[in-house]
């Protein structure tokens, strides 16, 4: 389940991640919905992006729930198996959050595959960007949001790791959506030309986002240790 602390942490992670998002998703927002001159285009694009977040979060939550159900079906004392799987899930999610938290603070480098999957490396990207802005309908931008919402990103993957630990379809989707809603104010601001102002505080925001991820990791790991100690 998503606790109030989780809700606040996930939302703040998305909000403080705006500086990071400027580098990764900022060009997308400016080039796709931003060039249309329609605010509805921004809403359509981000609606698609948030739906993708929710779907991925639900899938991660379902995976966590499935592992617990599988543990219960193995035999023996189901509560013991369930506790063990919950510990494993919490540890994996915690380590993932810890890794990306440290990467935000600059102590470790993000995996190279995150950079390899940058949008400008996608097949057909140049052709997509060459289309006239006026030729993109809100429906087109909604679909683009659905597709591009799954781009590799350390911040969103950290949120998805938290969704895994929720071990439930609804709670996993909620965790990812809360994070996505946190990114929305900054991304809308970038779309209306506030990128220069937001980028000024990128370093401070990255530090705070990293600390939040490490804090979330610590909570998961402490809970896992408590379960093992019982």
CA distance 18 to 189: 10
Is the pTM here over 0.85, yes or no?
no
pLDDT of 51 reads: 96
Can you give the residue ranges of every domain in the chain? 4-122+142-229
H or E element at residue 26: helix 26-31
Q: Tokens representing 195?
A: 């990128």
Q: Tokens representing 178?
A: 């809360």
In terms of Cα–Cα distance, which of 42, 53, 36, 49 is closest to 143?
A: 49
Other Cβ atoms within 10 Å of 181 Cβ, number? 16
pLDDT of 79 reads: 56
- Considering only 21-35, 86-100, 158-172, 201-215, which range has the smallest mean pLDDT? 21-35
Residues 6+ positions from 200 with CB-CB distance below 8 Å: none
Q: How confident is the model at residue 211 (pLDDT cuts 50, 70, 90)?
A: confident
Q: How confident is the model at residue 72 (pLDDT cuts 50, 70, 90)?
A: confident
Q: How confident is the model at residue 169 (pLDDT cuts 50, 70, 90)?
A: very high
Work out the percent of the chain whose per-residue pLDDT is above 70: 70
CA distance 183 to 168: 23
Q: Which among 122-126, 128-132, 140-144 has the top mean pLDDT?
A: 140-144
pLDDT of 175 reads: 93
Structural contact between residues 119 and 28, judged by C-beta atoms closer than 8 angstroms: yes
Looking up tokens 């140049």 gives 126
Q: Give rounded-to-5 percent helix, strand, coil for the chain.
A: 80, 0, 20
CA distance 92 to 162: 10
Q: How confident is the model at residue 174 (pLDDT cuts 50, 70, 90)?
A: very high
In terms of Cα–Cα distance, which of 41, 24, 43 is closest to 33?
A: 41
Q: Which among 47-61, 159-173, 183-197, 199-213 has the top mean pLDDT?
A: 47-61
Compute the average pLDDT of residues 34-59. 89
Compute the average pLDDT of residues 139-146. 85
Q: Tokens representing 133?
A: 């802005």
Q: How confident is the model at residue 36 (pLDDT cuts 50, 70, 90)?
A: confident
Q: Tokens representing 27?
A: 């060009």
pLDDT of 159 reads: 87
pLDDT of 181 reads: 94
Q: How confident is the model at residue 226 (pLDDT cuts 50, 70, 90)?
A: confident
CA distance 143 to 167: 28
* Average pLDDT score, the chain: 77
- Work out whether the CA dihedral 181, 186, 187, 192 comes out positive or negative: positive
CA distance 199 to 142: 26
CA distance 17 to 157: 12
CA distance 140 to 132: 12
């Amino acid at each position: 389940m998503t606790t109030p602390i989780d809700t606040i942490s996930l939302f703040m992670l998305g909000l403080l991640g705006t500086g990071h998002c400027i580098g990764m998703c900022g060009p997308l927002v400016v080039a796709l919905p931003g060039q249309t001159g329609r605010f509805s285009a921004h809403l359509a694009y981000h609606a698609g992006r948030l739906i993708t977040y929710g779907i991925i979060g639900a899938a991660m939550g379902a995976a966590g729930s499935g592992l617990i159900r599988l543990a219960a079906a193995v035999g023996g004392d189901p509560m013991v198996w369930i506790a063990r799987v919950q510990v494993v899930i919490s540890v994996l999610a915690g380590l993932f959050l810890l890794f990306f938290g440290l990467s935000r603070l600059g102590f470790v480098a993000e995996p190279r595959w995150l950079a390899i999957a940058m949008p400008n490396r996608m097949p057909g990207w140049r052709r997509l960007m060459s289309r006239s802005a006026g030729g993109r309908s809100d429906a087109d931008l909604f679909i683009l949001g659905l597709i591009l919402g799954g781009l590799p990103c350390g911040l969103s993957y950290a949120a998805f790791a938290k969704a895994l630990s929720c071990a439930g379809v609804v709670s996993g989707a909620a965790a990812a959506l809360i994070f996505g809603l946190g990114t929305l104010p900054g991304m809308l601001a970038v779309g209306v030309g506030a990128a220069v102002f937001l980028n000024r505080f990128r370093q401070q925001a990255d530090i705070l986002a990293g600390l939040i991820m490490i804090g979330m990791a610590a909570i998961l790991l402490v809970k896992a240790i408590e379960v093992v100690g019982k």
